[in-house]
Amino acid sequence: MPGRLDFGGNGRRRIEDASALVVGLGGLGSQAAVYLTAAGVGKIGVVDYDSVQLSNLQRQVYYNVGDLGRPKADVLAERLAELNPLVEVRTYNLRLTSGNALEIIGEYDVVVDGSDNYPTRYLISDACTLLGKPYIYGSIYRYYGQVTIFQPPAGPCYRCLYPRPPPPGVMPSCADGGVMGPLPGLVGSLQACEALKMILGIGRPLVGRLLLLDLSGTVFGELSIAKDANCPACGSNPTIRDLQDYEAFCGSAADGVWEVTPEELADMLARGERVMLVDVREEFEREICRIDGSVSIPLSRLWDEIGRLAGAGKIILYCHRGYQSRMAAQMLREIGFGMVWSLKGGIEGWAEAVDPSIPRY
């Protein structure tokens, strides 16, 4: 194949003998699968139970209007076969579940996660931990992306980064929250690159390192992820020995897990606790009203100014009514900030319960 990168005879054989499973065939998974196929990975499994929708095409460029209504797994398998007929492509038109994950994942060397929901991420992580498989993780939101490799015991698992799921409804999907079209292509390409590095045993894979992308400012950063010695999946004394009901696990998160009430915040401040109170609203909203002692880091600039949060004690975020601050708190939790909460009800709730002198808007 002219123009391909020469990894030498042993490297080429390792790629041809390798296998990769891609779960979720949206913008991330479809991109990763294409590059792994082009590289000549011998066997590729593609898992998705969804069909092609018109709203997908803005960011899932391997589908077109002629594919609308067809299963994504079938459409992508056809594209991959056209791209490289030497690759064995296995199609799974199904939802990955606790009942089939160990059997399916067990057939592959690496797993690339292109999913967009928490139950599937926990499921993949636990299955890969139990089977000793590298888990190539990627996620996207608006302009922001993340990539890492979870690989116990060499590095942490997904639960080390994200011990508990967020309350239902905190994090919107790509369809609800929006995403810059090229972002999933970039993140999916990085996932394919990390998978190839793991297969070949070359370079410095992102094990224990979380790569952060912010396309709004074209900024790339990195955070270290430590193993959690008390992790129930990969810690010193793991308690997770089998897969569980992940829909129930993620659905059981209480609405208050990531929030503090206005009364609780008032008590913290009265006791003199070390609290960094962060206003994530835009500046024009802050000019109308604010909570005394808070600092301004609008959600639109959070990624650029994330360094201001380093070394803080408890971080309490607030917005107008609490939705944006919950979303921001979850984003920070996911990248390793462990002591972050959202003010329940936002500044409206604070005005109602604590300080009625604050004007409403």
Q: Please identify every residue annotated as catalytic.
A: 174, 319
At 9, which amino acid appears?
G
How far is Cα 266 from Cα 279, in angstroms, rounded to an integer? Answer: 16
How far is Cα 147 from Cα 138, in angstroms, rounded to an integer? Answer: 4
Q: Which helix (H) or strand (E) holds 268?
A: helix 262-270
Based on the number of CB atoms within 10 Å of its own CB, is 82 exposed (0-12), middle (13-18) or buried (19 or more)?
Answer: exposed
Residue 135: name the closest of 186, 195, 175 by CA: 195
Other C-beta atoms lying within 10 Å of the C-beta of residue 284: 8
Residue 225: name the closest of 133, 317, 146 by CA: 146
Based on the number of CB atoms within 10 Å of its own CB, is 311 exposed (0-12), middle (13-18) or buried (19 or more)?
Answer: exposed
